[in-house]
Amino acid sequence: MRVAPPPFPSIGCDTITTLDKVRCDGLRSAGIGFVFRYLGALTAGERDIILTSGLGLGLVTYSDAPGWVPTAEKGAAYAVTDRQHLVAVGAPTGATVMVDLEGVASSASPDDVAAFVNARSKPLGDAGFVPGLYVGYGGGLTAEQLYALPYTRHYWRSLSRVPEPSCGWVLMQASPGDIVVAGTEIDVDYPQRDFEGRAPMLVWSP
Q: What is the pLDDT of residues 99-137, one digit of tens each?
A: 999 999 999 999 999 999 999 999 999 999 999 999 999
User: Is the Cα dihedral 63, 68, 71, 74 positive or negative?
Assistant: negative
62-86 pLDDT, tens digit per residue, is 999 999 999 999 999 999 999 999 9
With bands split at pLDDT 50, 70 and 90, how would you rate the model's confidence at 96?
very high
Where residue 83 sits, what CATH number does that domain have? 3.20.20.80
Nearest to 158 by CA among 187, 133, 136, 191: 136
pTM of the predicted model as reported, rounded to 2 decimal places:
0.95
User: Would you state the pLDDT for residue 86?
Assistant: 98
Domain ranges, residue 197:
2-204
User: Would you state the pLDDT for residue 122?
Assistant: 98
Total domains in the fold of the chain: 1
Q: How far is CA 3 from CA 82, 113, 198, in A?
A: 19, 30, 14
What is the CA angle 33-131-144, rounded to 5? 105
User: Would you state the pLDDT for residue 21?
Assistant: 98
Distance CA 144, CA 166 (A): 7
User: Would you state the pLDDT for residue 92?
Assistant: 98
For the chain, the three-class secondary structure string (H helix, E strand, C coil) is: CEEECCCCCCCEEECCCCCCHHHHHHHHHCCCCEEEEECCCCCHHHHHHHHHCCCEEEEECCCCCCCECCCHHHHHHHHHHHHHHHHHCCCCCCCEEEEEECCECCCCCHHHHHHHHHHHHHHHHHCCCEEEEEECCCCCCCHHHHHCCCCCCEEEECCCCCCCCCCCCCEEECCCCCEEECCEEEEEEEECCCCCCCCCCEEECC
Q: Work out the burial of residue 98: count CB atoms within 10 Å of its CB; fewer than 13 is exposed, 13-18 middle, 19 or more buried.
A: buried
- Bond into 9 cis (ω within 30): yes
